[in-house]
Amino acid sequence: ISHYPKKRSASLMLLHAIQERFGYISRQAVEWIAAKLELQPINIYELVTFYPMFHHAPVGKHHLRVCRTLSCALGGSYKLHEHFCEKLGLDPHAHGPQTTPDGKFTLEFVECLASCGTAPVMMCNDAFYEGVSNQKADEILRKCNS
């Protein structure tokens, strides 16, 4: 915290550190960071909810994020999401992230992943994939299962 000109500037660094350590950002973590930085919890919570890389709850070993914004939707992201749901035994109509019963996969429909020209796009953990077809999705799942 002392490396930053203002305490508030350390918010993202602390969020990343906590998520790396615990796998997600809990309500207690939000309150702890806010107290440490002399902010209100809402100031930290707005960061957690704004950035798609932060998790609000525990996620599976493999976190699949499929972009659903306009370019990706037109490129087939809704069909891609349905394909993942079918392969993983998840409900394609559910809202919010879904985790498989074995905890191996979490599937989440997210807002823009900033590669509109290569739609549909997705991420598996920190790996970024462009132009994802059902066949490519199956390859990603096979890679995760090996």
Domain boundaries of the chain, sorted by first residue:
7-50, 62-145
- Judge whether 113 and 61 are in contact, CB under 8 Å: no
The tokens describing 103, both together, are: 């905890």
pLDDT digits (tens, 9 = 90+) for 126-136: 899 999 999 99
- The pTM (predicted TM-score) of the whole model is 0.76
Q: Where are the alpha helices (DSSP H) in 38-130?
A: 41-50, 70-75, 77-88
112: pLDDT confidence band, cut at 50, 70 and 90?
confident
CB-based burial label for 38 (10 Å; 0-12, 13-18, 19+): exposed
Give the residue, 19 or 112, on which the prediction is more confident: 19
User: What's the pLDDT score for residue 12?
Assistant: 95
pLDDT digits (tens, 9 = 90+) for 71-97: 999 999 999 999 999 999 999 999 889
Q: Side chain identity at 132, as an amino acid letter?
A: V
Place of tokens 């394609």: 92
pLDDT digits (tens, 9 = 90+) for 28-60: 999 999 999 999 999 999 999 888 788 888 899
- Judge whether 68 and 77 are in contact, CB under 8 Å: yes
The CATH number given to 62-145 is 3.40.30.10
Q: Which secondary structure element, helix H or strand E, spans residue 129, and what is its range?
A: strand 127-129
